A and B are shown apart, each in its own frame.
Chain A
Amino acid sequence: MSQDVAAAPRARAAQDTVADAAATPERAQPFAALGLTADEYARIARLLGRRPTDAELAIYSVMWSEHCSYKSSRKHLRQFADKAPATDVLLAGIGQNAGVVDIGQGYAVTFKIESHNHPSYVEPFQGAATGVGGIVRDILAMGARPVAVMDALRFGPADAPDTRRVLPGVVSGISFYGNCLGLPNIGGELAFDPCYAGNPLVNALCVGVLRHEDLKLAAATGPGNQVILFGSRTGPDGIGGASVLASASFGGTGEGAKRPSVQVGDPFMEKLLVECCLELYRTGLVIGIQDLGAAGVACATTELAAGGGTGMRVRLDSVPLRDASLGPAEILMSESQERMMAIIEPGHVPAFMDICAKWDVQATVIGEVTDTGRLEMSWQGVQVVDIPPGSAADSGPVYDRPAHRPATQDELLAADPGRLPLPAAGRDLRADLLLLLGSPEGGDKTWVTEQYDHYVRGDTVLAMPHDAGLVRIDAETGLGVALATDGNGRYCQLDPYAGTQLALAEAYRNVAVTGARPLAVTNCLNFGSPEDPAVMWQFTEAVRGLADGCQQLGIPVTGGNVSFYNQTGGTPIQPTPVVGVLGVHDDVRCRTVSGFTAAGASVVLLGDTRPEFGGSLWAWLRHGHLGGRPPAVDLDAEKALAGLLAVAAARGLLLAAHDLSDGGLALALAESCLSGGTGCVIQPPADAAVFLFSESAGRAVVAAWPDALPDLVSACAAAGVSAAVIGTTGGPALELTGLFSVPLADLATAHRAALPALFG
């Protein structure tokens, strides 16, 4: 409770020192309780030539956790680099806090998506809030000003009691943190499936903007330079979060049950930290910088020292504490929010401190860079850590876990949706449209998204319900970036390779329909336990699919995050890679919106429609069916479509463009009618059910002015994209000639009913 507890007497005097560790090799240590295996513990002892001290054990336990070390995924993630397409847009790539992409005019953007699944299940509000805070600091650490956030959310059945606990908490946690911080939330996803009932997915994305010369890296260079910890004080928040919580399944109770400790976010402190860091960057004083996320001081010190190829001496007693009883191991593992670490020349420390004082940010010199190649830490005058920093940051174990395609996969593929009865009569087609439109999955997401501020900062061009979020970067030129995230657990359950490519293709298409040129990819790979060979097979297929897909589309993966152990008991979630695509608009004034805003335009369906219902929303909601193959992937067709959409937007040919995905053309038409407030009259072909509900990929529905139609048709022919005029915008209803007509008011009632009915 005291204001300056760093000066207060320490509660625990006797510490396990480096000398003690050398003298008492036999002393038993609780490595298993910290999440390390006996082999990993032996590996640490081999690296050090002695047993680790308690503080060193704390460092290795968090740094070698699945969450921080990617030990089960690293071998596979290499494909993102190995198969990376030749590109000159990448200024910083995988391995940094976030990838940095050149968008022209001297600007760069950095963006990343990260999971906060387990904390959001334990404490939905704070878990989701700190998820936003963490990803914002990742972006800030690259030297960028964070400009927007997005969230990809997945929950159990919308009507399940636990969803009523988790969803409102998650949404209000995101809106609380993002709105207080003053960042617009410009998009994301909301999905429901029974597989997420005990394991919701909360994936937070942030995008930031910087000038090329402002790029910062996490490297401690220059022996004698000072190590400064600034931001919030350190408390017992989330100790062991990375090692225990994010890296193992929720077990039973009783002995061995792992108890997470909840972190509380403070967006007002984060706002001060953002402005403080940006002012520090402008002075040019900052040599290296790192945010403190999972694994806190342990992670920041080891990664900075390893990144700089140097050593570091740290006085752990100097770390300002909120709780005077914390010992060195706890200080190292604490995940207290809103903290950063910077490397500064000694002569610049007073100037640094002045800026921090201006922003009311506490800053403390806790150590200095050395040339010893060792990370040394002291506590009350005794040495408690002496390790090579790279041994914790880079030399963790790498596992080649067994991966086997499960036998059940064949049954799943054999359960072809072709046997499902397709509606033919107008009233049946109408009923199925309203079923999809009125479901939590297919319905309006406004109940969630209206809790987020979309327009703060004044540069939001598009946000929900458009296919992608779009923010303006430069008010003079109109330069802007579009972002979309997509994932589809049902497709990935059927075929993780194709399903991941479909997620990539959809995010790519969502960005393209606004008229943007897709440029780079981030990903958040949500899977079950990597110790389950069937899950590992899903994971390897998904990574291979994404790497191959990015290679074919010619856009690099700039970074991402892996979240394993998303399962309840022995049942994993559906494999859910969430793919984020970033695209560039040279001038956001030429963007295309998704709604039909005027009558008299021709409605044109781009791309080819085949009877593809495997994993479709229609099969799932109408028949509870999940089986067969997901829609075919044709990335060359996606590329052609994206190129066409960019040309059409730049030439002003389109009134509207909307991507086709879940729920097929039926949902896309209904959404375009509702968001633009204008109906349409469509002339369906004979196989109306396929026309309306198939989820064939590589398609978009656009509206073009009649005088632009010849241009559009010839542009389609030139791009090799098939185009069919299917109707006209206008009228008070969504009408399918000869089949059915739904007045817009009825459409809106159905669309908007689901979430408010469940969540109030």
Chain B
Amino acid sequence: MPRFVVDVMLKPEIHDPQGEAIAGACRRLGFGQVAGVRQGKRFEIELTEPASAERIGELAAELLANPVIEEFTVHPG
């Protein structure tokens, strides 16, 4: 079954409060070496028939990511 993986991350300049909260929690748990965390989303998409990466990119831009503040990559699963 054809598969794609879409990874979505906030653009590097965009503030990530959740990532900061996770980094703080890491340090409280004793992982003092954690300097920073940025959190993203991963989508694993299964297809009934082959599709182009461009087509999946259109889906990502429309639904999976918010292109105003996020960027994404599409790669075959």
Contacts and interface: CB of A to CB of B under 8 A. Distances in A.
Contacts of A236: 13
Nearest to B17: A266
Contacts of B16: 264
B36 A2 contact: yes
A2 B27 CA distance: 13
Interface in A342-364: 360
Interface residues of B, number: 16
A235 B15 contact: yes
Interface in A250-294: 261-266, 268-269
Interface string B1-35: 00000000010011111001101100000000001
B17 to A, nearest CB: 4
A123 B36 contact: no
Contacts of A261: 13
A2 B20 CA distance: 11
Nearest to A262: B69
A268 B24 CA distance: 13
B35 A262 contact: no
Nearest to A322: B15
Given A122-B68, A123-B69, A126-B69, A264 B36 contact: no
B33 to A, nearest CB: 10
Contacts of B24: 360
B34 to A, nearest CB: 8
A236 B69 CA distance: 13
A3 B35 CA distance: 5
B15 A336 contact: yes
A286 B15 CA distance: 29
B38 A264 contact: no
Q: Is the interface of A mostly helix, strand, loop or mixed?
A: loop
Contacts of A336: 15
A123 B35 contact: no
Given A3-B23, A123-B68, A123-B69, A264 B35 contact: no
Contacts, number: 44
Contacts of B15: 232, 235, 237, 263-264, 266, 322, 336-337
Contacts of B14: 237, 262, 264
Nearest to B27: A3
B40 to A, nearest CB: 14
Contacts of B13: 235-237, 261, 323
Contact of A264 (B21, B23, B69): B69
Given A3-B36, A237-B15, A268 B68 contact: no
Interface string A288-330: 0000000000000000000000000000000000110000000
Interface string B22-59: 01100000000001101000000000000000000000
A268 to B, nearest CB: 7
A323 B36 CA distance: 12
Nearest to A264: B15
A268 B35 contact: no
Nearest to A267: B17
A515 B23 CA distance: 51
Contacts of B21: 268
Contacts of B36: 1-3
Contacts of A264: 10, 14-17, 69
Contacts of B35: 1-3
Nearest to A337: B15
A2 B35 CA distance: 5
Contact of A268 (B17, B23, B38, B66): B17
B67 to A, nearest CB: 10
A262 B68 contact: yes
B41 to A, nearest CB: 15
Nearest to B20: A266
Nearest to A127: B68
Contacts of A125: 66
A261 B21 CA distance: 22
Contacts of B10: 264
Nearest to A323: B13
A323 B20 CA distance: 13
Contacts of A337: 15
Contacts of A126: 69
Contacts of A266: 15, 17, 20
B70 to A, nearest CB: 10
Nearest to B12: A323
Interface in A669-694: none
A651 B1 CA distance: 75
A583 to B, nearest CB: 37
B17 A1 contact: no
A1 B38 contact: yes
A269 B69 contact: no
Contacts of B17: 264-266, 268-269
Nearest to A235: B15
B30 to A, nearest CB: 15
A264 B18 CA distance: 11
Contacts of B20: 266
Nearest to A2: B35
A404 to B, nearest CB: 38
Q: Which 5 A/B pairs are nearest by Cβ-Cβ distance?
A: A266-B17, A1-B36, A264-B15, A123-B68, A236-B13
21 contacts: A1-B36, A2-B36, A3-B36, A122-B68, A123-B66, A123-B69, A126-B69, A235-B13, A237-B13, A237-B14, A237-B15, A262-B14, A264-B10, A264-B14, A264-B16, A265-B17, A266-B15, A266-B20, A268-B17, A322-B15, A360-B24
Given A1-B36, A2-B36, A323-B13, 8 more contacts: A3-B35, A237-B15, A262-B68, A264-B14, A264-B17, A266-B15, A336-B15, A337-B15
Interface of A: 1-3, 122-123, 125-126, 232, 235-237, 261-266, 268-269, 322-323, 336-337, 360
Interface of B: 10, 13-17, 20-21, 23-24, 35-36, 38, 66, 68-69
